[in-house]
Structure 1
Amino acid sequence: MTDRLGNIISKTLLAIETGKEEIFHIAETSRTETQRLTQELSHLRVEISETIKKVDQLQKEDRKMRQHLMEVSRDYTKYNEKIMIETYAKAKDTQVQLQLAEAKESQLRTRRNEIERSLRRMMDTIERAENLISQVTLAINLLHSGISEMTQDQNFEKRQEIALRISMAQEEERRRVAREIHDGPAQNLANIVLRLEIAEKLLELDPKQAKNELQDLKVLVRANLQDIRRIIFDLRPMALDDLGIVPALRRFMDNFQATYNIQCEFQITGREKRLLPAMEVAVFRLIQEAMTNVAKHAHSEHVKIELIFKDDITLARIIDFGQGFNVDQALDNPGDHFGLIGMKERVEMFSGQFSIISPSGVGTTVEMTIPSKKEEDIE
């Protein structure tokens, strides 16, 4: 029976994963079309602006020609028949040009409105697809979890709830990163491509303006590169691999302090040493999660981080001076506090110890102790 159920879940997984690829394809196609429509809309707005100027100019000429035609028509003695015919022809020609320009403006406006409606639909499609991908990914994770835990009955409901909440936290983090990339670097890169096309055209028409545009783009590219590096650092600090846990934490705290305006005090005790890569990542992520909780919930202007290196353990302690919370209630009924459960489980994965002390109105102390398995001492 278990094998049959596992087979059914595996086939269901395959079908869902195939569907996920299709949804992703729809989202990517919509993004490509959105970019094309955005570029067309940008060019269209320029053309509409130029057409409006032309219409205004032709309207003025038309009024002048009508006035002149009235003068010629009233004074037969001053203007001969030839002048009258020429004046009438010019007035008629101006009127025709005005009608054509007005018709063009109307068509351009109609097309602009159509593109704007299409863009709204595309953005809605992309948003729906992204939400659907997140839901499908969550379902896939749960099914994978179901296969691996099918034979484990002990504390099944509790384990399932924790797994669900951790999975939800992971999906929320993926959505956050996706939104950050989409709203930041992705949008900026699309804008850069569009402005480069404009600069390319300006090279022939107005080289000076093209140079100014390229200088502005240089600033934009540098800012975009900085955003990308920040996102990469949030995902996986390069300093962690190159230099170790302490330099990576120092950089993280500099960014944290600048972002949240919360003063960070970092204290190192003992002889600094490199840990196994997995342990360094674990310690970094645990401190990062604890600091995020401080920023979100503590209402503290100051946080102290202690990192203590001993021969057999590495201890991290995060102390804030905020409002505190009910620890037992948070751990017994995770609710929105599943981040704490994830921290506790991550520490226990390394056979470590995790504790939280949080008297109401005094602040919170999060302490994590992980057995040290060093690779090398830092000289």
Structure 2
Amino acid sequence: MIRKLQKWLKLQSDTIEAHNPLESESDNHHSPTEISLSHNSEKSLKDRDLEFLFHQLLEGVVNGWQENRIEQFFQKLQPKITVEIWLDWLQRYRNKLVVSPAPHNHFAARMIILGEKTASLPFLRAVGDLAYEIGKELLNRAENNSLAESLRHNLNNDSQDSNVIENQENSEPISLGDVLHLLQNDPDFAEDTARQLGIDTKDPGIIMEKIVQESELITPITPITPIDSVSSDTVNDLFNLGLEKASTGDLEGAIAYWDQALSINNNFSQAWHNRGSALAYLQHFEEAIKSFDRAIALDVNYHQSWNDRGNALYSLHRWQEAVTSWDRTLGLEPNDYQAWYHRGLALEKLNLFSEAISSFQKCLSIYNNYTPAQNAVNRVLKVIKGKGQ
């Protein structure tokens, strides 16, 4: 797997090598797809960018990021975003959350988890502590009382041993902050709650996240700032994170980052192209073609998108469409010898042998020592001779 990936993907400062489904027919020769990387500007990030990045962090935390992965997240953003910048922004964001009418329960639960996981990281402890404090503040809001009361009612119906809950039967409704306090200080309560929620953990933050997820008052964790106002710097950061993932062989992870970039800027042609290349390598050819089509719609003169679209079409045995795609490639880059060679292969599949030989010969006129094309000419000539053409 890794050796094949190394053939497909060669990450340099500004290039990435694309998938080629024809490598078995071209003796493992294929051409690189050049992708220009946008460099981050030196201007400082705005609050909306920090908000977006923080939500990405919380998404990772709730999906199992451990301490070392959280630390890597912050390290990759330095020195552009320091701990001091995070702390200043979190205080400003706290003020936004407090006046927001939405409950932000998911957000609060995830901040609790972040606080717990950064407790052992001295460098990030201050960020985690502040996030934890904000999370508790949100959970203690009066708007959450009905959710806490519903939880208490369900636990009372299902458990005979929840003395802490039963003792509050006639009290005012507890808040989610009180529920969190019980989860943290009463292991039996935490275990019983987790069991009833169907999860195997005693982590208070994770249990709280599940409580919110299971509630009827569930609300999506969405940024207060509209996502379309996030700056181009953040889009480029996500794009480059995708390249990093691809360089390690994690193509699905790379696609996930490019999808995030495209959710902010749907007109990012390079992200559409890279997404298509990765999908093609994963043999999701139909979806890859759709991505290449989006890339081409945004940049009709980028010959590699036409070329890689042809590769994907060839993999689906859509020979004529592949030829058409390579015709467009060669109209933009007439000296692309591999496009001539691949075009010849598709024409051979269509039994258009004379045209195939012409295409192979054009390839050889550009690169006369290209063995796959020499072999292809000999192969097709034998077929023609056998057919008496």
TM-score, length of structure 1 as denominator length: 0.24
Looking at CA atoms only, which structure, 1 or 2, has the larger radius of gyration? Answer: 1
Query: In proportion to residue count, which structure has more helix?
Result: 1
- Larger strand percent: 1
